[in-house]
Structure formats: C-alpha cells, structure tokens
Amino acid sequence: MRLPITAWASITHRASGVFLFAGIAVLLWGLDLSLASEESFSTLKESLAHPLVKFVLWAVLSGLIYHSLAGIKHLVMDFGFGETMEGGVIGAKIVVSISIILIAFAGVWIW
C-alpha cells in the first residue's frame, strides 16, 4: 500500500514532535550549562565546535523547523483552506519544500 504525501506529512509531523520532546532535553542541558558559571559557559562554547554537537544541534533545529511549518499548515487547514485532497497535497509539498530550504540554511548557519 502506498501512502499519499499528505499521510507522510502527517506522520513526520507527529514524529518530529516526539523527536523535539527529546531534543528539548539537550537544549535545556545546554542552557543550564551556559548559565551555571563562566567556566561551564566556556566549556559549552568549546563543545559547540565539535562536529557531533553541531550535528545534534542541526538535527534538533531541523525538527523544529519542520514541525513548526507543518503546524502552521494544520492551523491554516483549521481555518478552512486546503481541506480537499488537492489542497492537502499542495500544502504538504509547500511544507516539505520550504522545510528543505530552511533546513539547508540552518546547516550553513551552524557550520
């Protein structure tokens, strides 16, 4: 059975929400470390230069970008726009396209 793009967009929206729930723990740990002392802030700053840490930060930011855009699409649909199958497909394609562009920009910004 082949799922339509609208189903994939909905599934990935839910998955990105679960991923963000875990990613928030990483971001809160970084915030706590940055505020604890000047030494811990310096340690965090040094660790942010490591490629693996940059990748984790990019992954969390990517999830946030996609989840936010898909959420906006759901809000627009709640107002009655794009509720048809054709509108849903167009909305999903727009969300995926803009997400790819913004995620690429986020990668350039982080690296």
SS3 74: helix
Q: What angle do CA 20, 106, 58 make, to 5 degrees?
A: 40
Q: Is the model's pLDDT at 31 over the cut of 90?
A: yes
User: Which residue bears the tokens 């470390």?
Assistant: 33
Domain with residue 95: its CATH number is 1.20.1300.10
Structural domains counted in the chain: 1
Task: Give the pLDDT of residue 61.
Answer: 96
Cα 19 to Cα 110: distance, rounded to the nearest angstrom: 19
Mean pLDDT for the chain overall: 94
Q: Which two tokens stand for residue 36?
A: 């604890």
Residue 42 has what pLDDT?
95
pLDDT for 1: 76
Averaged pLDDT, 77-101: 94
Q: For residue 86, what are the domain limits?
A: 5-110
How high is the pLDDT of residue 60?
A: 96
* Contact criterion met (CB below 8 Å) for 16 and 68: no
C-beta of residue 110 within 8 angstroms of C-beta of residue 57: yes
pLDDT tens for each residue of 13-24: 999 999 999 999
Question: Does 88 have pLDDT greater than 80?
Answer: yes
Are the C-beta atoms of 89 and 5 separated by less than 8 Å? yes
Residue 30's contacts (CB-CB under 8 Å, 6 or more residues apart) are 44
